[in-house]
Structure 1
């Protein structure tokens, strides 16, 4: 009888240990299921939702997406660094992310060997995702006879108060626009570009929007005549029949990659790595160009001209000094704020 009871107790203990092992396989170190993922992203919802749905269907991983401006989301990551509530930060300019790379884990995507050399993850923290040229978006119903070919044309007095531009401290696409203006209008010397930026700020007439979406929506809805935005946003409205057009500034366009990173001490690190590998895969990168109006970071994925995208060879492309831009981010934002508040 004693032997039977001992045998039953032993079998119960064995079953309990087996269940615990299975449970631990399905959970991360903090008990959160490993088939879950939380993503912070400043990308437009119409851009992120199709890709996330595909990722969920392919992997079985359930994604919680939190959307807001890049500045707001980075503040959340900073405030949560001792207890991260997200696993991936998806979006934002390299200038924005590089100055905060202490918030991210080192990780190199399995697809990095297919990435064009200029967009490779060289320091191991920020994975490049797509190539995003800065553009001017014009409402064709409002522009009338005003000629818009580049940045200089935005100083036209008839456009005073009619230019949509976001606060560069809250919008990474607006920060990239500022960098583009400084290098283009300074002929490669960003310090010489501040004269132009000062004049442009005066023509904003005290209007500075809180996020990138307010820029392209404002132009498409007819609240503003022109806006400083990024290529994909304008192409989406053109695709949907809005009365807008894209201008690639004749003074020069910077076409830099945006980025993404796995948040340091993320609860679902394995799922986060799968997500980064997924969105940098050739299948998804091809979808970016053919369906979602973005340019790929991969060497062998070409643009789809039927989307209205111009080949980069048809645009005056210039480069910024990324090391300078990253190192002087706070200086640029402070200078911009000082000029804006003094006008």
Structure 2
């Protein structure tokens, strides 16, 4: 079966076989390592559920789902970016999450719970502005400073439109300058004013550009800036006054899940306050549980938590998805 590719069992010795095995999807690299060494053993011990890890990319997971069909999904719960999840949700794969089955859902920040609890954003990596302290005279405080500060001209780093962060930046610009995420034309007009700017395929490339001084200011996720700081690169991160963007990992329960009860247990585990704190320490993500607490030292590396979670821009992906192809084509033609 296509969904079996990249899966490996994580059975624990002496574990009861009463619970059904749960397929858990995650990404490669540090994510896979953390899931294998920390999260899954901890989940198995606390919930008594055997797990099989499926490592890949969002497109792989969605392809597995579509190959199997709505009636026989290979997953019981799926973690993907919310913009991707919204596509699959529209195809009828997911169903609302019953709060009684997932007690920690009540502790998730309200803005992270989808309408009717049809999905919840359980892992959040915020995006703001990063800049070189030694190369910038007037540090930015807001998104508007990217347009108004002349020393940034020709020194701005943005994501390529194939990266979700570029679409987020476009939609935010539409809201800020056009009053609505629907003001796409206005967003293009405003972003073109930032030209010339350098575009990167992913955060690691932006980090390299900042390190070399190719760009002095960038739209970038905060964990990347923290990583650079720990390497000694003179960079700083800014939480813009207007709010922040975010990569949001959406957790969704499949309508015809083969192990639905186990899926509820896993989601409840992911949303636990202590698990969210663990992920903050590992990935510098923003805890999605209102009861999570960060040490003062860690809070410096995770600038968006607590009350600041309300500052994350939210968008309606059901409106955006039909326009993605046209927006991508237009961006590639005009942003040169």
Q: Common fold, TM-score beyond 0.5?
A: yes
**Residue in structure 1 matched with residue 177 of structure 2 by the alignment:** 185
Alpha-carbon distance change, 172 to 103 in structure 1, aligned in 2, over 3 angstroms: farther
Specify which of 123, 129, 132 is matched with residue 122 of structure 2: 129
1:162-241 equivalences in 2 (<5 Å): 162-167=156-161, 170-186=162-178, 188-192=179-183, 194-201=185-192, 203=194, 205=196, 208-216=199-207, 218-220=209-211, 224-241=215-232
1:55–1:278 contact (8 Å) kept in structure 2: no
Look up the SS of the partner of 2:103 in the other structure. Answer: coil
From 48, 56, 64, the equivalent of 2:40 is 56
- Indicate the RMSD between aligned Cα atoms, in angstroms: 4.0
Give the 3 Å change call, closer, same or farther, for CA 214–194 of structure 1 in structure 2.
farther
Contact map agreement 2:126 2:285 (CA 8 A) in 1:
no
For residue 78 of structure 2, what is the aligned residue in structure 1? 89
1:306 alignment counterpart: 297
Are the counterparts in 2 of residues 201 and 340 from structure 1 also a CA contact under 8 Å? no
CA displacement, residues 91-147 of structure 1 (integer Å, 9 cap, x when unaligned): 423x44234313334434331122233333542331221344330222445x44465
The DSSP-based 3-state class of the residue aligned with 1:246 is strand
Compute the displacement of 1:298 (Å). Answer: 1.8
| Unaligned 5+ runs, structure 1 | 1-24, 29-33
Please give the alpha-carbon distance, in whole angstroms, between the structure 2 residues aligned to 1:200 and 1:171: 16
Q: The residue matched to 2:291 in structure 1 has which SS?
A: coil
Residue of structure 1 in register with 2:97 after alignment:
107
Give the whole-Å Cα distance in 2 for the aligned partners of 1:158 and 1:46: 33
CA contact (8 A) 1:184 1:253 kept: no
- How many residues get paired? 304
Correspondence for 2:141: 149
Question: C-alpha displacement at 1:253, in angstroms?
Answer: 3.0
Give the structure with higher Rg (CA). 1
List runs of 5+ in structure 2 lacking aligned partners. 1-15
SS at match of 2:97: coil
